Structure 1
Amino acid sequence: MATDVTPLDDRLGFLLKTAYAQLAQRVDAALAPLGLTARQLAVLSVIAADDALSQIALGERLGVDRTTIVAMLDELEGSGLVERRRDPRDRRRNALVLTGSGRARVMRAERTRAAAESAFLSRLDESAARDLVAALRSLVRHPDG
């Protein structure tokens, strides 16, 4: 983004979108040597936190439609990072499980992501960076005020 002032510089949506684009580019570049994108890591991290998650529940947590989730899971399964297994509690559904390789990759990728985010936030002092994350968390968790 150019350093010139634009009419959009006071618009929250523009600033959030632009900051996100910069962060996403940085994180994707950092994750590329691990063969992952930030979006794939988000999917893997949610699965890692709940090994018996269904595809439908995963899509709901990520706010992603079923078709997109299926395509992403097909790719991650093809890479040997995720398995779909019959849920022993409900044989009509599949549970998503990280493979051993998937779990190891997530651990490395999460460290890489955290370092890229930290580098991105280094333009702010530590207190401002913590406040920004806390404020965004509050907005996301309580969208209706």
Structure 2
Amino acid sequence: MVSDRLGYLLKHVLARLTEAQTKALAPHGLNGRDLAVLSAVASGEPLSQLEVASRLRVDRTSIGDLIDGLEDRGFVERRRSPEDRRRNVVALTELGESTYATAERIRLEVEREFLAPLRDGKRFRSDLQALLGE
């Protein structure tokens, strides 16, 4: 039966989680991919556009469009690196910082509600991380 296949189950679980996150984040002008970029940029260390792409395992051609969209909405800006003037880094704006904080709370709540039917949501998450070798 198709619904017994791991790939089918993972694909459809991801689709439902993505749908829930998209709906919850939409009023804040974000989607899950946007939030992932903001999360990488908010990591505390100044990252170049290519470093953000690498951290998120996103194609380097796609990251430019993602960052452009966030920049157009005022969430991030490209700046010269204070350590190396030849290098540009991506930084959160004040709006980006406040929106990121709100969006992270929303993401955590959506995940908590999504995992609520499981006996041990924390265990499920750690099992998935083990499968990824993390």
Q: Does 1:11 align with 2:5?
A: yes
Q: Does 1:98 align with 2:92?
A: yes
Q: Aligned residue for 2:115?
A: 121
Q: Aligned residue for 2:101?
A: 107
Q: Percent identity among equivalent residues?
A: 45
Cα displacement (A) at 1:42: 0.6
Q: Does 1:30 align with 2:37?
A: no
Cα displacement (A) at 1:51: 4.1
Q: Deviations over 1:14-39 (max 9, x none)?
A: 11111000000001100011111011
Measured in 1, the distance between the counterparts of 2:2 and 2:48 equals: 41
Q: Aligned residue for 2:38?
A: 44
Q: Does 1:133 align with 2:125?
A: yes
Q: Aligned residue for 2:63?
A: 69
Query: CA-atom RMSD, angstroms?
Result: 1.2
Cα displacement (A) at 1:90: 2.1
Aligned-partner SS, 1:97: strand
Cα displacement (A) at 1:92: 2.4
Query: Of residues 26, 42, 47 in structure 2, which corresponds to 1:53?
Result: 47
Cα displacement (A) at 1:9: 2.1
Q: What 5-or-longer segments of structure 1 have no aligned partner?
A: 1-6
Equivalences, count: 134
Q: Which runs of 4+ in 1 moved over 4 A?
A: none
Cα displacement (A) at 1:137: 1.2
